[in-house]
Amino acid sequence: MSSTSIELQPRRSLEPGPSLAPTPGPSPSLHASAEFPEAGRELPSLPPADTGRDAWNFLIAATAMETTVWGFPYTIGILHNYWASEMFPGEESTLTFAATLQTGLMFMSTAVLGPLFAAFPHRSKLIQTVGLVVSSAGLIAAGFVTKADQLIPTMGVLYPFAGALYLPCATLVYEWFVERRGVATGIMFAGTGVGGTIFPFIVDALLKRFGYKATMVAVGIGFATLNAVALLFVKRRLPLPPRVPGQRRPRPQIDWGVAKTWPFWCGFFVLLLTSMGNFNPTLWIPTASVPGNALTGWISDRTPAKVTVFGSSLLAALAVLIPWGLGTTNAPLVFFSIVWGLTALSFVSLWSKLISRICKDDPTMATLIFSMFAVLRGVGNLTSGPVSTELLKSDSFKGKAAGAYGKTNFGAVLVYTAVVIFSGGVFGLFFPK
């Protein structure tokens, strides 16, 4: 880094407070001052955090992206049935692979996108635009496939570029919201539940009325248009270091010492264990996660991380063991779905609390830590299928226990799911304040 570049020292506290004077150091703090006296000028004052038109415009735009980018994959079940029955009968393995690849790459691509955004913060808007164009092209191209294996590059590979469009939203929210960070992220992540609830109905209706090709073209154009408008309002609150004439723009410094801290490893195991159990239940009710995300975020703003993490994990584990495990009628299963949606499916709203403590409000590290969390969630997504398949082969509980434990071969899956999620909550108890 050039010795003449201007950067701000990050705060080492998550509580809002007075702005800091500019000093050499790592990436700018989320509470940084708007002044650069060394540059001989004062920048316009920053827009307020937590309140104001700019903050809420950002949140609305970010929620719209969350709704479309992560809500659309919930239509894969509707599309899969249409492909298998109307277009490519007998190609079940190929269709399943394309659908699984889409979800897996959405999570795992953050392993590349996180470092990319951290290394080139001034190119964020360009990278987002590329992600929007490629993912929209993938949706439209999927409408013209004539063979099942053509869905692999279109839906399976191209659409996951939408992750590049979305990723900055997940961390820029930390700049725009400080005291209300939990509820803001909860509102944003609730977009997944909204999209997952309404998009399957929309796509199903379009398929029945207009056919497959017209549906995919319309979805692709609508996806591109809505997100192009939203992208206009997704911007930083804190200015990046200015470019010095005649010199290369300084790159953000990354403090890898974070990986040696207890909060990092505690958060790592919390996310890994809870994610390994999160995808096992066969009842996936995105609707319940809409109020769940907002409620979980609101609670996280008012209670320590260890309390919210352990409480959410405990309730999710009990929901698996009791209403699902002992239930043999619809009523307990509906109750399980609601509790699961309010806890396990809404756990992502606790990420901001964990990430803020781990990275100590360093925005560069926030992007990298969020990417790591997303990859861990992807590990849970990719391993849940094979693990559940093996556990379903066990009949250890069948005929020997009450409820679903004894009447089905789900007993081992139920116990495994509850144990790993509860274990994640136990790690959460040791997460520092």
* Dist CA 354 CA 266 (whole Å): 9
Residue reference for tokens 């930390």 = 174
Q: What is the pLDDT of residue 39?
A: 40
CA dist 12 to 34, 118, 359, 361, Å? 18, 20, 9, 7
Give, as one character, the DSSP assignment of residue 85: I
Domain annotation covers residue 115: yes
Same domain, 168 and 262: no
Same domain, 85 and 171: yes
CATH number of the domain that residue 267 is part of: 1.20.1250
Q: What angle do CA 16, 21, 24 make, to 5 degrees?
A: 115
Burial class (CB within 10 angstroms; exposed 0-12, middle 13-18, buried 19+) of 225: exposed
CA 275 to chain centre: 12
Domain annotation covers residue 32: no
Joined together, the tokens standing for residue 310 give 């352990």
Using the 3D structure, point to which of 181, 196, 231 is the last residue of a domain.
Answer: 231
Q: How far apart are the first and last CA of the chain?
A: 33
CA 51 to chain centre: 24
Domain annotation covers residue 336: yes
| 168 within 8 A of 128, measured Cβ to Cβ | yes
Closest C-alpha to 314, from 291, 333, 339: 339
CA dist 325 to 72, 115, 328, 339, 344, Å? 31, 42, 8, 14, 16
**Helix or strand run (H / E) with residue 41:** strand 41-42
Domain annotation covers residue 20: no
Same domain, 219 and 278: no
Torsion on CA atoms 266, 270, 276, 282, rounded to nearest 10: 180
**Helix or strand run (H / E) with residue 299:** helix 286-300
Domain annotation covers residue 127: yes
Domain annotation covers residue 34: no
Same domain, 155 and 99: yes
Closest C-alpha to 63, from 188, 158, 162: 188
Same domain, 112 and 206: yes
Does the pTM surpass 0.95? The reply is no
Q: Give Cβ neighbours of residue 192 (< 8 Å, ≥ 6 apart).
A: 66, 67, 70, 71, 286, 289, 293
Same domain, 183 and 264: no
CATH number of the domain that residue 60 is part of: 1.20.1250.20
Domain annotation covers residue 201: yes
Closest C-alpha to 367, from 225, 168, 223: 168
Q: What is the pLDDT of residue 399?
A: 66
CA 196 to chain centre: 14
Q: How many domains does the chain have?
A: 2
Q: What is the DSSP string of 88-112?
A: -TT-HHHHHHHHHHHHHHHHHTHHH
Q: What is the pLDDT of residue 105?
A: 87
Same domain, 196 and 265: no
**Phi first, then psi: what are they for 36, rounded to 5°?**
-130, 75
* Dist CA 430 CA 413 (whole Å): 27
Joined together, the tokens standing for residue 301 give 């703003």
Structural domain boundaries, residue 108: 53-231
| 363 within 8 A of 175, measured Cβ to Cβ | yes
Q: Specify the long-range contacts of residues 113-116, CB closer than 8 Å, at least 24 apart.
A: 113/163, 113/164, 113/167, 113/371, 114/167, 114/367, 114/368, 114/370, 114/371, 114/372, 114/374, 115/368, 115/371
42: helix, strand or coil: strand
Number of C-beta neighbours around residue 87 at 10 A = 16
- Beta partners for 410? none
Q: What is the pLDDT of residue 287?
A: 64
Same domain, 186 and 324: no
Domain annotation covers residue 194: yes
Q: What is the DSSP string of 128-156?
A: HHHHHHHHHHHHHHHTT--SGGGHIIIII
Same domain, 296 and 421: yes
Same domain, 196 and 263: no
Per-residue pLDDT of the chain (433 residues; tens, 9 = 90+): 443 333 334 443 334 443 333 333 334 444 443 333 334 444 558 888 888 899 999 999 999 999 999 989 889 889 999 999 889 898 888 888 888 888 888 888 888 888 888 888 888 999 999 999 999 999 999 999 999 999 999 999 999 999 999 999 988 988 899 888 888 888 998 888 888 889 999 999 999 999 999 999 999 999 999 999 999 999 988 887 776 676 676 666 677 778 888 888 888 888 888 888 776 664 445 666 777 788 888 888 888 888 988 998 999 999 888 988 887 788 888 888 888 888 887 888 888 888 888 887 677 788 888 888 888 888 887 777 778 777 777 777 766 777 677 677 777 888 888 999 999 999 988 888 7
Same domain, 221 and 139: yes
Using the 3D structure, point to which of 197, 231, 265 is the last residue of a domain.
Answer: 231
90 Rama sector, left if φ>0, alpha if ψ -120 to 50, beta otherwise: left
Same domain, 212 and 271: no
